[in-house]
Amino acid sequence: MKLVVVASGDFFSDYGGGQVYVRNIVDELSHRQELTTTVVSFNRGQQPSIRKYKDISVYQINDETTLEDTLNELSPDIVHANGEKLITSRVCKHLNIPCVVTAHHGGIVCPAGTLLNTDDDICSILADYRHCLKCYLRHTPTGLMWYPILKGCSQENNLKCGRLLRKLPFIPFVSPIGETGLIVTQKLNDWQELYGNVSLFISPSDAMADALKRNGCPPSKIIVIPHGIPTIVSSTPQVTNYESQVTKFYYVGRINYVKGIHVMLDAFSSIEDTNIELHLIGGAGNKTELRYQNKLKRKYCEDKRIVWHGKLSYEQMNEVIKEYHCLIHPAIYLEVFGLNISEALAQKKYVIATRCGGAEMQIHSDKDGLVVEPNNREALVAAMKEYIKDPKQSQTTVRSISEHVDDLINTYEEIANERK
pLDDT tens digits along 69-79: 999 999 999 99
Are the folds of 2-109+188-228+401-419 and 231-389 the same? Answer: yes
Report pTM.
0.92
**CATH of 231-389 given 3.40.50.2300, 3.40.50.1000, 3.90.650.10, 3.40.50.2000:** 3.40.50.2000
pLDDT of residue 46: 81
83-100 pLDDT, tens per residue?
Answer: 999 999 999 999 999 999
Residue 188: alpha-carbon gap to chain centroid = 20
- Integer Cα distance of 266 and 271 in angstroms: 9
Cα separation, 9 vs 16, in Å, equals 11
Answer yes or no: are the C-beta atoms of 162 and 131 closer than 8 Å: no
Q: What pLDDT, on the 0 to 100 scale, is given for residue 45? A: 76
Cβ-in-10-Å burial (0-12, 13-18, 19+) of 229 comes to buried
The predicted pLDDT at position 26 comes to 94
pLDDT on residue 420: 64
Pairwise CA distance, residues 134 & 148, whole Å: 9
Q: What is the largest CA-CA distance in the chain?
A: 66
248 strand-pairing partners? 277
Can you give the pLDDT at residue 11?
A: 86
Domain locations along the chain: 2-109+188-228+401-419, 129-183, 231-389
Residue segments in the chain with a per-residue pLDDT below the cut of 50: 235, 237
Using only C-alpha atoms, the chain has a radius of gyration, in whole angstroms, of 22
State residue 12's pLDDT score.
Answer: 81
Q: Please tell me the predicted confidence (pLDDT) of residue 297.
A: 98
Dist. CA 314–CA 82, nearest whole Å: 20
Rounded Cα distance between 18 and 301, Å, is 31
CA nearest to 255, candidates 288, 277, 278: 288
Sign of CA dihedral 311, 25, 22, 60: positive
pLDDT for the residue numbered 44: 82
Distance between start and end Cα atoms, the chain: 13
**Helices 377-389/261-269 angle, 10° precision:** 50
Residue 9: the pLDDT is 84
Q: How far apart are CA 384 and CA 278, in angstroms?
A: 11
CA distance 189 to 201: 17
Report the CATH number of the 2-109+188-228+401-419 domain.
Answer: 3.40.50.2000
3-state per-residue secondary structure call for the chain:
CEEEEEEECCCCCCCCHHHHHHHHHHHHHCCCCCCEEEEEEECCCCCCEEEEECCEEEEEECCHHHHHHHHHHHCCCEEEECCCHHHHHHHHHHHCCCEEEECCCHHHCCCCCCCECCCCCECCCCCCHHHHHHHHHHCCCCHHHHHHHHHHCCHHHHHHHHHHHHHCCCCCCHHHHHCHHHHHHHHHHHHHHHHHHCCEEEECCHHHHHHHHHCCCCHHHEEECCCCECHHHHCCCCCCCCCCCCEEEEEECCCCHHHCHHHHHHHHHCCCCCCEEEEEECCCCCHHHHHHHHHHHHHCCCCCCEEEEECCCHHHHHHHHHHCCEEEECCCCCECCCHHHHHHHHCCCEEEEECCECHHHHCCCCCCEEEECCCCHHHHHHHHHHHHHCCCCCCCCCCEHHHHHHHHHHHHHHHHHHHC
CA quadruple 72, 73, 79, 83: dihedral sign:
negative
